Amino acid sequence: MTSPHIAAPLLEVRALSFQRQDEPVFAPVDFQLHAGELALVEGDNGSGKTTLLRMLAGLLHVGEGALRWRGAPLQRDACTGDILFLGHQLGLKADLSARENLHIATGLNGQRAGVSAAAALADIGLAGYEDEPVRRLSAGQKKRAALARLLLLPATLWLLDEPYANLDRSGIARVNLLLETHTAAGGAALVTSHGAVAFHGGEPKHIRMHA
């Protein structure tokens, strides 16, 4: 391994590709993600960004190529709680409030020590809307309710598919801050976006997708 880091990378992707009905969705990608690193997955519409994230999350089977997790071949059972995926579908029940939705998430995934659901919701900018059914929230507020999971769940690797969609300027700044604190604490994140996003915490790694 020619990595300058001494520790094994958190996630290593080798010649990963995906076929849908024998048509490759994207050209093989290779990259490494170390603890404390942030990577931006870039590409045009339909270039396979979401497919890549869904594969890494374990929702799609790995077509060709290899995934290594902390230096060993990735075993789903060993790392499920360590990877957090946030997709286009936010996974919120519209009839439940943001707080109830968070309680389900922590009930299933566990909770970070020292963070409460109320504090996470206040932090993400939903103070005063905790008990409102999610169906009555605006699109941006729904996104924030889903992002509150990032604060609450104990995961090392975040896979965020378009986390900036529907967010206002303060929301975007909030997500950037979340990513900075997460990477500073030794976590890693993979973020898709087609727009240019400004990060304050160092230069993120860029992964370019080609159809």
Q: Are the C-beta atoms of 138 and 167 separated by less than 8 Å? A: no
Tokens representing 200?
A: 């304050």
Nearest 5°: the CA angle 160, 163, 167 is 170
Task: Quote the least distance from Cβ 105 to other proteins, whole Å.
Answer: 7
Q: Does 95 bind other proteins (CB under 8 A)?
A: yes
Q: Does 70 bind other proteins (CB under 8 A)?
A: no
Q: Does 80 bind other proteins (CB under 8 A)?
A: yes
Q: Report how far residue 196's alpha carbon sits from residue 169's, in angstroms, rounded to the nearest whole number.
A: 14
Task: Quote the least distance from Cβ 49 to other proteins, whole Å.
Answer: 16
Q: Does 113 bind other proteins (CB under 8 A)?
A: yes
Q: Does 45 bind other proteins (CB under 8 A)?
A: no
Q: Report how far residue 173's alpha carbon sits from residue 164's, in angstroms, rounded to the nearest whole number.
A: 9
14 vs 103, which CB is nearer to other proteins?
Answer: 103
Q: Does 188 bind other proteins (CB under 8 A)?
A: no
Q: Are the C-beta atoms of 69 and 75 separated by less than 8 Å? A: yes
Residues making contact with other proteins (CB under 8 A): 57-61, 80-81, 83-85, 87-96, 100, 103-113, 133, 154
